[in-house]
Structure 1
Amino acid sequence: MPARRTIVTLALAGAVLLAAGIVVVASSPGLLPTGEYERTTVTVTDEATGETLAAVNARIADTPPKRYTGLSDTDSLGSDEGMLFVHDTEERQAYVMREMAFPLDIVFVGADGTITRIHHAERPPEGTANTELTRYTGRAQYVLEVPYNYTVDHGIDAGDRVAVAGRWGPEDA
C-alpha cells in the first residue's frame, strides 16, 4: 500500500507541475518558438492623391509568440524593411520597445487600411525594466514597424492608406 500511495503522490505532483508549466507558457508567449516569418510587401499611399509613398518588405507577425518577440531578435533593419503585426480585430493596441537594439517608427493601421497613429519610438536606456517601458498606443488591427523616422522621410501621415500584397488594401475593396 505505501508504494501505491507514493505513486499516486508522484503522479499528482507531476500533474501539478505540468499544469503550472502550461499556465506559464500560455501567459508568456515569448517563451514559445516563433518559427519562420512569412514576408509581404506593404504599400503606403497618400490619402489625398493616391501617390505611392513607400513600399516596405515586411515580416509578418501573426501569432502571439511572433507578436511578442517582434523585432527584438533583430540587430537592424534595411531602409525599406519592417514588420507587420496582424491582430484578429481592430482595437486599442499597446507596443513597447522590449530588448530593442534600434529605434523605430510604430504605425497603427485600422481594419480598413487607414493609418490611425504614428509614434517615433526611441530605444530605451539599457537595463530599463519591462514595467518601466514606454507604452506606444493606438487603435489598430495592424501595426507596421519601420526604421526610425521612415515615416518622416517618406511623407507618411495619419490618414494615409496601407495595402498588403495579396491580402488586403484598396485593390481588394
Structure 2
Amino acid sequence: MNRFFTLMLGALIALSSCAAPTDARQSDAGAESTGETASPAKAPSGLDLVPLTITSNGKTHEFTVEVARTSREQARGLMFRTELAPDAGMIFPFDRVRPASFWMKDTPTSLDIIFVRADGTIESIAANTTPYSLESVQSGEPVAGVLEILAGRSAELGISPGDRVSWTESWDPAKRRGQ
C-alpha cells in the first residue's frame, strides 16, 4: 500500500510541475524567455497600463499610465475618477501631430495636463486644472499627445517644458504607425 501512495505522490508532483502559470509574473517571464511579447497589464477601466518616465534635470520620475488610444477612450479620459495615485496617469497619443484642447467636464480630480511634442519633449503644462470646468485648456503648438497626472505633481517633481517624456511607444505618430 505504501508503494502505491509513493507512486501516486510522484505522479502528482510531476503533473503539477507541468501546469500552466497561475500568476501574471510567471506568464510574462515565460514569454520573455521564449522571445514572445507579453500582453500589457490592464487597468480596471480596461485600458492598457504601461510604464512611462519623465526625465527632468537629470532625474527620472516613473509613472504607470493608462493608454487612451481610440477617440472614444480619449473623449472619456479621466472623467468620473475621484482618485488618482501620485505615480499614475493617462496618456492620449494622437494619430497625427495637431493642436490639442482639453476640458475638465465631469472630471472631479484636479490634474496637470502635459502637452508632448513628437520628439517626446514637453511643450507646455496646464497645472492644477479646475475640476468640472468647461474652460478649454490648449497646447501652445501642435503636439503628438497629452499626458494627464495628478495636479501639483509637475511642480512637486520639478517637471517643466523641455523635459522628456518616454513610454513603450514613440510619441511620433508616423513612427507609432510603423511599429
For residue 137 of structure 2, what is the aligned residue in structure 1?
Answer: 136
Instruction: For structure 2, list consecutive stretches of 5 or more residues without a partner in the other structure.
Output: 1-44
- Are 1:36 and 2:46 matched, yes or no? yes
**Distance (Å, rounded) in 2 between the aligned partners of 1:58 and 1:160:** 18
After the TM superposition, which residues 78-93 of structure 1 pair with which residues of structure 2 at under 5 Å, given as runs? 78-93=85-100
CA root-mean-square deviation: 1.8
Instruction: For structure 1, list consecutive stretches of 5 or more residues without a partner in the other structure.
Output: 1-34
- Are 1:123 and 2:131 matched, yes or no? yes
Q: Deviations over 1:127-151 (max 9, x none)?
A: x6xxxx1111113211000001110
Q: For residue 40 of structure 1, what is the amino acid of its counterpart?
A: V
**Distance (Å, rounded) in 2 between the aligned partners of 1:89 and 1:82:** 21
Instruction: Figure out how many residues of one structure are paired with residues of the other and give that number.
Output: 125
Larger relative contact order, structure 1 or 2 (CA cutoff 8 Å, min sep 6): 1
Secondary structure, in 3 states, of the residue corresponding to 2:99? Answer: strand
For residue 163 of structure 1, what is the aligned residue in structure 2?
Answer: 166
Secondary structure, in 3 states, of the residue corresponding to 2:100? Answer: strand
**Largest Rg, 1 or 2:** 2
For residue 156 of structure 2, what is the aligned residue in structure 1?
Answer: 153
Secondary structure, in 3 states, of the residue corresponding to 1:151? Answer: helix
**Distance (Å, rounded) in 1 between the aligned partners of 2:154 and 2:86:** 11
Structure 1 consecutive aligned stretches of length 4 or more whose deviation exceeds 4 Å? none
Q: Deviations over 1:82-103 (max 9, x none)?
A: 0001111111000000101111
TM-score between the two structures when normalised by the length of structure 1: 0.68
Task: Report sequence identity in percent.
Answer: 29
**Distance (Å, rounded) in 1 between the aligned partners of 2:90 and 2:126:** 15
Cα offset, 1:55, TM superposition: 1.1
